[in-house]
Amino acid sequence: MKKEVSRRKFLKYMGATALTAGSLGATSKALGQAKPIPKDPIKIAAVSFLTGAAAAPFGIPGDNTYKMCADKINAEGGILGRKIDLQSKDEAGGVDAQVKLCRKLILEDKVDVVLGYISSASCLAVLPLADELGGLIVAYDCGTHELMEGAKSPYDVPKFKLGFRSKAHLGIDNIALALYIKKNYPKINKIAGINQDYAWGRDSWLIFETAMKKLMPQVQMVKTLWPPLGNTDFTAHISALMGSEPDIVHSSLWGGDAVTFSKQALGMGFFKKIRMAYSRGEPYPQEVGKDYPEGQIICCAGTHYFLYTPKDKASADLQKWFVGEYQKRYGKYPSYPCYHAFQAIFAYKHSVEKAAKAVGGWPTIEEIAKAMTGITFPTPSGMLTIREDHNGIEDCLVGITKLTPKYPFPILDKMEIFPAAQVNAPIGMKTVDWINSWK
């Protein structure tokens, strides 16, 4: 008897699956043409690291910001009257897991847009799925310049019809660091690097090294180290760096790795002789507190710094709201991933509104993609433009850590802003080729 019931249940379940499969097929067919604005909420999937090493410094702040922005948009009436239904997803589990998750989001859950990805490895694997599956994907925080660049200059843009990145790539961080070093430390002659052993670390060093060689040809690269992601013992690396006696060490370490490195290096007397140049060190002074060494060169991955005031009024107002609201909600100053999350969700909002104006009605994803290409809008860290190569360009801020009585952690001193045109390669030109073409 018991068996019979479970068998019937099973058959019922099978029937239900077949039915949903059928109805899903029907809706996907209707996606082809522009239609009146639907009543149901917009499904936005936000993928960030919610667990693991990258959760505390990036994933959680990014996810918090998505929620904060979705609340703001919903409170102001949504996008064309449609509310946002935000679904937070975890980026943990490796590249293959992300490929599978993204397929599920687009094919099964039928989300309107996927905003996400912190790791460069995730981005490289997932962005091609946009065109493959016919879904809109906006990368929000990952850095590798390879993502949107072709094999050789000049290359055709865009690389992905439906794939975007609503921020500048790591080129700006590393070029700005090199420019800053040339300007402020013209007499140095030895540089070393410690970067994690994957796309992010490798590409950061590549751009920095190329720019350094061009700007200060006399400088020697004395050591390059590649610890794995999530390394817990940096002593061997720290000693190896000290043994090569560099003046400045370039690093794109992030998260727990950046903190572990700082603490162990502090214990080994590293900072007495050597200055670090962090391509994305902005969150860590706040994370580590007053022990964070002074005099370290730090880049903010753009102008994403809570003490920065954008030049235009709209952006400056947003920055005021952003820093205040974030601090009110989460008790911290927003770090650069927060700014990136703002850019991604508002890039989608502004693009939908722009496209809707053009087509009169709720736009298709192709129309949204078209509107997103070349869009400019205000953000808390200034006006942001997403270019024809589907990549954002931004100005870049670099400074030096300094303790002040006002904050319980070092803040940036001697801030300098490098305008977008000075740190971003022109459209269709590979960043490395562009640097090599500098006069």
Partner 1 sequence: MGLTGMVKNPRWIVYSLIFIALLFIPRILSIHDLMLFEYGITFAIVGLGFNLLLGYTGLLSFGHGAYFAAGAYTIAMISKYFPQAYSLEILIPAALFFSMVLSIIFGFVCVRHTKIFFSILALSLSMLLFALLFKLYHITGGSDGLRVPLPTLLGMSFKGIRRPEFLSGTYYYFLLGMFSVSFLVMKGIVSSPFGKALQAIRDNEVRAELIGIRVRRYRLYAFVISGMFVGLGGALWTFVNGHVTADLSHWVFSGEIVYMTLLGGFGIFEGPIVGAIIFTYLKLYAMGNTQYWMFVIGGTLIVLVLLLPNGIAGAFAGLWTKIKKVIEET
Partner 2 sequence: MWIIYTLNGLYFAALLFLISLGLNIILGVMGILNLAHGSLYAIGAFIAAWIIITLGTQVPPFFLYVSLLSGLVGVGIVGFLMEKSLIRFMYKRTLEYQLLLTFGALMLLEDVIKMIWGGQAYYASAPFELLGKVDIFGNVYPAYFLFVMFIALIAGLLIWLFMSKTKLGIMLRAISLDREMATGLGLDITGLSTFAFVLGAGLAGLAGALVVPTTPALLGFGHEPLIFGFIVVVVGGLGSLKGALVGSLLVGFTRSFGIAVFPEIELPLLFLIAGIILVVKPEGLFGR
16 near partner 1, rule: CB under 8 A: no
Query: Which of 59, 399 has the CB closer to partner 2?
Result: 59
132 near partner 1, rule: CB under 8 A: yes
Q: Binding residue for partner 2 (CB under 8 A) from 220, 235, 327, 404?
A: 235
Q: How far is the CB of 60 from partner 2 (least distance, A)?
A: 7
Query: Which of 140, 261 has the CB closer to partner 2?
Result: 261
The rounded distance, in Å, linking the Cα atoms of 201 and 292 is 22
Q: How many CA atoms lie within 13 A of 10 on its CB side?
A: 6
Q: How far is the CB of 93 from partner 2 (least distance, A)?
A: 10
262 near partner 1, rule: CB under 8 A: no
| Angle at alpha carbon of residue 377, lines to 373 and 382, rounded to 5° | 125
Look at residues 303, 300, 315 and name the one whose alpha carbon lies nearest to residue 420: 303
DSSP states of 114-153 as a string? EEE--SHHHHHHHTHHHHHHT--EEE-S---GGGT--SSS
Look at residues 388, 330, 398 and name the one whose alpha carbon lies nearest to residue 179: 398
Counting residues that bind partner 2 (by CB under 8 A) gives 36
Q: Binding residue for partner 1 (CB under 8 A) from 125, 188, 215, 427?
A: 125
Query: Which of 51, 184 has the CB closer to partner 1?
Result: 51
For residue 134, count CB atoms less than 10 angstroms from its CB and return exposed for 0-12, middle for 13-18, buried for 19 or more. Answer: middle
CB 396 within 8 A of CB 174: no
Q: Which does 52 bind (CB under 5 to 8 A by kind): partner 2, partner 1, none?
A: partner 2
Q: How far is the CB of 243 from partner 2 (least distance, A)?
A: 4
The rounded distance, in Å, linking the Cα atoms of 433 and 237 is 31
CB 226 within 8 A of CB 200: no
124 near partner 1, rule: CB under 8 A: yes
- Copy the structure tokens of residue 248: 């400045």
Q: Which does 272 bind (CB under 5 to 8 A by kind): partner 1, partner 2, none?
A: partner 2
> For the packed helices 235-243 and 255-267, what is the interaxial angle rounded to 10 degrees?
60
Rounded-to-5 percentages of helix, strand, coil across the chain: 45, 20, 35
Q: Give me the sheet containing 248-251, strands edge to edge.
A: 220-225, 190-194, 248-251, 275-278, 297-299, 396-402, 411-418
Sequence letter at residue 230 = G
Q: Binding residue for partner 1 (CB under 8 A) from 9, 12, 13, 18?
A: 18
- Rg (C-alpha) for the chain, rounded Å, is 23
128 near partner 1, rule: CB under 8 A: yes
- By CB under 8 A, the residues from 184 to 243 that bind partner 1 are 197-199, 202, 226, 228-229
371 near partner 2, rule: CB under 8 A: no
**For partner 2, what does the binding mask look like between residues 263 and 282, x meaning CB under 8 A?**
xx--xxx--x----------
Q: How far is the CB of 381 from partner 2 (least distance, A)?
A: 26
**For partner 2, what does the binding mask look like between residues 386 and 415, x meaning CB under 8 A?**
------------------------------
- By CB under 8 A, the residues from 286 to 315 that bind partner 2 are 291
* DSSP 8-state class, residue 415: E
CB 156 within 8 A of CB 430: no
60 near partner 1, rule: CB under 8 A: no
- By CB under 8 A, the residues from 72 to 101 that bind partner 2 are 92
Q: How far is the CB of 93 from partner 1 (least distance, A)?
A: 7
CB 298 within 8 A of CB 411: no
Binding site for partner 2 (CB under 8 A): 50-53, 55-56, 59-60, 92, 223-226, 228, 230-233, 235-237, 239-240, 242-243, 255-256, 259-260, 263-264, 267-269, 272, 291
Footprint of partner 1 on this chain (CB under 8 A)? 18, 21, 24-25, 50-51, 90, 93-97, 99-101, 103-104, 107-108, 120-121, 124-125, 128-129, 131-134, 197-199, 202, 226, 228-229
